[in-house]
Structure 1
Amino acid sequence: MQKPVDLGHGISMIDLYDLGVAQRTGTYVLHEEEIAIIETGPSPSVPYLLKGLETLQIDPADIRYIIVTHIHLDHAGGAGALLEKCPNARVIVHPKGKRHLADPSRLIAGAKAVYRENFDELFSPVLPVPEDRLIVKEDGDTLTLSNERTLTFLDTPGHANHHFSIYDSRSRGVFTGDTIGVFYPQLLKDGLEYCLPSTSPNQFRPEAMLQSAERLEQLQPERIYFGHFGMLENPRAAFEQLRFWLPKFVEAGEKVMAEQHDAPMQEKTKAVFQALYQEVSAFLQEKNIPSTSEAYDIIRLDLQVCSMGIVDYLQKTIQQG
């Protein structure tokens, strides 16, 4: 297990080994008078999180706030399990996510529809969070952890309606969850700072995603802290790549929907994935990324879920039209 990484500005990152993969999902620890962590990962990642806290010499009883950017299980599924180990902590969540942490039955059903027989291995158990231990933060609300650090919560839909991003006054960075996509640090050794949109079902909306990204860009952050995975000190690269790739994702979906409008959803999703993976692979090969890079396996997994979200979004668009 990799030791927690010191990112500077009083922030450490713990690798959660989500999906059993290194550099996939991380928890950020904010070392202040009132200790806070951002993202829990799924329940199977909680032992890694606790081990990371032990390495940092942090007693879970000293944690005051567990913050989740949104309630998808790879970000917040472990909140209930972690809370049992953190008796003095409360969970901060977007207002549209509160009821689903208190009663995760719909979250579980939605994830089972996507991950099917793999659900238990990836996410179980998903424990409810007691309502009296939940705190809602509305758009623009703040949380002061010390004289040096105030967090500001910003409603940033597009990936999900229950998503906020968090501006950190001390690092002048933003914890973006999945709002502006996924960062692939595996490619840094090849000299590439690479991000892709995260368009998973079932609340993906491309226009809202671009508007949220623009709002965050206007803050002129000095660094981005991604849910997947790590810190990027070149925020401009992330925003530019979102604007480059998101239209391509939607166009690939629109082409498949037009050509295979009578095909089953599963076939449409498969076709969108194949189109996206071919385009992304060609791009990476042009950048001289070797076919042996572990990034390809992670990107393949991501694009499979992204394809589901694209088809779901376009199907809804057709039905509404």
Structure 2
Amino acid sequence: MYHTLDLHFQNYEHAIASFLIETDEGPVLIESGPYSTFPSLEKGLSNHGYKVSDVKHVLLSHIHFDHAGAAWAFAEKGAKIYLHPFGHDHMHDPTKLVASATMIYGDQMDTLWGKMEGIPKKNLKVMEHEEVVEIGGHSFKAIHSPGHAKHHIAWQWKDTIFTGDVAGVKIEGGPVVPPCPPPDINIEDWLQSIDLILSKNPNRLVLTHFGEEMNPNIHMQELREILKDWSEWMKVKWEAGMSNDEITPEFMAYTAKQLKDRGVSDHGIKLYEAANPSWMSVAGLVRYWKKKLEN
């Protein structure tokens, strides 16, 4: 049994989650969320009888702020942080990560993500592909799954895979959509990672944005289709010479219509936008096509 901790990002329910698994060696946390939601995370832990200092193991899917921004606060209390090899240096010294994000978010950085501090190397544990860590009678397997980010891990636990972003965003029963921020989006890698996840025959997928999916094959097929749809849509606009600023309102309208056509309410569309901002996918997919077609 695992527990979903809703982090109430930007005061929205069901936008970002962390996941708590109780073991003989204390609680294991999958995803830390951003530091801006740390009070919600503390409250979620408290609801299950734990303090932050009780968490000695934090498993990260990748180092984007919405998944890993608060990891340092657990490391500060002695926790081991498990992550992809490509994420190690950035979590030890997040200077470049913060500078890059500040260029994107500007004065919204603190409101959205909160601060991010470096983590001592002794608290960082790099996980190789399919490496298993045993904690308190439980086994956690790291599945390297690039596409959304080159430093992405999905975590297999029993018949469950905690998917980070490789299985997309699906909120309150709406359709699945792919988060495509810069700089690492790679459609071919992502499609291969989808196949890799399914080859593990999970009974359930657990999405950071947001919650449980009990039909992995159907879910992943829908993700394949929408990933290709968004990618091809973006290619047409970019090849027509449109700028990101020109593409963004059209893409927001296009994706909002897709959600509405699938029965998502106006409030639901705002939730999707909070978890997966449209303009980020414009930047990521345009960069993908530039790199692909200019090489």
TM-score by length of 2: 0.93
User: Where in structure 1 are there 5+ consecutive unaligned residues?
Assistant: 1-8
Rounded to whole Å, the distance in 2 between the matches of 1:56 and 1:270 is 45
* Counterpart residue number, 1:102: 92
* Counterpart residue number, 2:54: 62
C-alpha displacement of 1:224: 0.8
Q: Does 1:173 align with 2:160?
A: yes
Rounded to whole Å, the distance in 2 between the matches of 1:144 and 1:126 is 28
Aligned residue among 143, 150, 159 for 1:161: 150
C-alpha displacement of 1:81: 2.2
Q: Is the 8 A contact 1:180 1:209 kept in 2?
A: no
Rounded to whole Å, the distance in 2 between the matches of 1:317 and 1:57 is 50
* Counterpart residue number, 1:5: none
* Counterpart residue number, 1:28: 19
C-alpha displacement of 1:184: 1.1
Q: Is the 8 A contact 1:16 1:41 kept in 2?
A: yes
Amino acid at match of 1:29: L
1:66-81 equivalent positions in 2, closer than 5 A: 66-81=58-73
SS of the residue aligned with 1:298?
helix
1:184-203 equivalent positions in 2, closer than 5 A: 184-185=171-172, 188=173, 192=174, 194-203=175-184
Query: Which whole-Å deviations, capped at 9, do the CAs of 1:245-264 have from their partners, x for residues lacking one?
Result: 0111111111111111xx5x
Rounded to whole Å, the distance in 2 between the matches of 1:50 and 1:316 is 41
Query: Which whole-Å deviations, capped at 9, do the CAs of 1:55-88 have from their partners, x for residues lacking one?
Result: 110133332201111001111011112333x33x
Query: Which whole-Å deviations, capped at 9, do the CAs of 1:99-129 have from their partners, x for residues lacking one?
Result: 1000001111221122122112112311111
Q: Is the 8 A contact 1:24 1:229 kept in 2?
A: yes
Q: Does 1:285 align with 2:260?
A: yes
Rounded to whole Å, the distance in 2 between the matches of 1:139 and 1:159 is 16
Q: Is the 8 A contact 1:252 1:272 kept in 2?
A: no
Q: Is the 8 A contact 1:180 1:198 kept in 2?
A: no
1:90-129 equivalent positions in 2, closer than 5 A: 90-129=80-119
* Counterpart residue number, 1:306: 281
Amino acid at match of 1:81: A
| Alpha-carbon spacing, 1:275–1:238, altered in 2? closer, same or farther (3 Å) | farther
Query: Which whole-Å deviations, capped at 9, do the CAs of 1:215-267 have from their partners, x for residues lacking one?
Result: 0011111111111111112222320111110111111111111111xx5xxxx
* Counterpart residue number, 1:270: 245
C-alpha displacement of 1:214: 0.5
Q: Does 1:12 align with 2:12?
A: no
Rounded to whole Å, the distance in 2 between the matches of 1:225 and 1:271 is 35
Rounded to whole Å, the distance in 2 between the matches of 1:17 and 1:166 is 23
Query: Which whole-Å deviations, capped at 9, do the CAs of 1:276-321 have from their partners, x for residues lacking one?
Result: 333333333333444x3x121133352221111111212222332x
SS of the residue aligned with 1:208?
helix
Which of 1 and 2 has higher RCO (CA within 8 Å, sep 6+)? 2
Rounded to whole Å, the distance in 1 between the matches of 2:247 and 2:147 is 19
* Counterpart residue number, 1:319: 294
Q: Does 1:226 align with 2:207?
A: yes
* Counterpart residue number, 1:143: 133
Query: Which whole-Å deviations, capped at 9, do the CAs of 1:179-225 have from their partners, x for residues lacking one?
Result: 1211112xx3xxx4x21011111001000000001000111111111
| Alpha-carbon spacing, 1:76–1:223, altered in 2? closer, same or farther (3 Å) | same
TM-score by length of 1: 0.86
Q: Is the 8 A contact 1:198 1:306 kept in 2?
A: yes
Rounded to whole Å, the distance in 2 between the matches of 1:276 and 1:237 is 25
Q: Is the 8 A contact 1:73 1:107 kept in 2?
A: no
Amino acid at match of 2:211: G
Q: Identity over aligned residues, as a percent?
A: 25
Rounded to whole Å, the distance in 1 between the matches of 2:190 and 2:262 is 26
Q: Is the 8 A contact 2:19 2:29 kept in 1?
A: yes
Aligned residues: 292
* Counterpart residue number, 1:53: 45
Rounded to whole Å, the distance in 2 between the matches of 1:53 and 1:92 is 19
